[in-house]
Structure 1
Amino acid sequence: MINFNYENEFNLDNEAAIAAWLSQVILSENKKEGEINYIFCDDDYLHKINLEYLDHDTLTDVISFDYTMGAEISGDCFISVERVADNAKDFKVSFEEELRRVLVHGLLHYCGYKDKDPKDEALMRSKEDEKLSLFHVKQ
């Protein structure tokens, strides 16, 4: 089950479409959907988590805690809406596109993809692009 939680004023406009897409991503990786929680927050909220749990004194757009057991993926994915908005401007993409990239990025970590070295990061970007192409909003 995919859940969306909000620790700030932000709300997804299309929760059902996003959840359906993320479920499709999970199936496309031959995984089973466990409990996946997305928590939308601001920079301060995520910075505190980064300090407390990872001992990193930096701002970031996403932190994912992986509780996957075998093929059933589960986890908590914290997303700073402020970082996503800034990154969208920096990368010259829409906020919605950057948000979808961050959403799927956390999910791909649960599927076993890493991004700590250049080779892994290249594969992660490729997978993000592949999964982003699966998203279709029904009008």
Structure 2
Amino acid sequence: MQGAVEFVYQTSFSLSDEPLYVRWLTACAKKFKATSVDIAIAFMNDESLHKLNVKHLDHDTLTDIITFDDSIGKDVVANIAISIERVFANAETFSQTNEEELCRVMAHGLLHCLGYNDKNEIDKHNMEAAENICMKLFHVEHKTNNHVS
């Protein structure tokens, strides 16, 4: 599969094994029939993501992720912004590890680029099912250690 996955850090957080996450996200994209992947994932704090949420979506709320999707068909092109603060807070709320919640959120952003939505209950159910497939790929094919601190 052609393309690239790039990580941008705007906080002190960083992935300890970027190649692992690149392989996993690429495997997820492939599983859902993407032909190429060109995404940048920026990790930031709540305040920075909130500003983007207000500016671009006119939503005055905290969120864990915003996906700026420029995909064409199955060629995935996107900038994804993730609040690492929100992800870790949600991990605690949902009794997940930080790594599990972060993977779910990254998969969520990728899946938006592949036509999945979460605007109604049916869409949410389909999105969650697709996220679970991606999570299984991470745990079965790629997980060797805990890579999020």
TM-score by length of 2: 0.91
Alignment partner, residue 107 of structure 2: 104
Structure 2 unmatched ranges of 5 or more: none
How far off its partner does 1:33 sit? Answer: 2.1
How far off its partner does 1:69 sit? Answer: 1.2
Percent identity, aligned pairs only, is 40
TM-score by length of 1: 0.97
**What's the Cα RMSD here?**
0.9
How far off its partner does 1:34 sit? Answer: 3.1
4+ runs deviating over 4 angstroms? none
Q: 2:90 aligns with which of 75, 87, 92?
A: 87
1:6 is the counterpart of 2:9: yes
CA distance in 2, matches of 1:95, 1:108: 20
Alignment partner, residue 143 of structure 2: 137
Q: How does 1:26-37 map to 2 (within 5 A)?
A: 26-37=29-40
Which letter does structure 2 place at the counterpart of 1:40?
A: F
Alpha-carbon deviations, 1:67-93, whole Å to 9, x = none? 101220110010000000100000001
CA distance in 2, matches of 1:71, 1:80: 26
Structure 1 unmatched ranges of 5 or more: none
For these two proteins, the number of residue pairs brought into alignment is 139
Alignment partner, residue 20 of structure 1: 23
CA distance in 1, matches of 2:121, 2:27: 27
Q: 1:127 aligns with which of 127, 130, 140?
A: 130
Which letter does structure 2 place at the counterpart of 1:61?
A: D
CA distance in 2, matches of 1:131, 1:102: 11
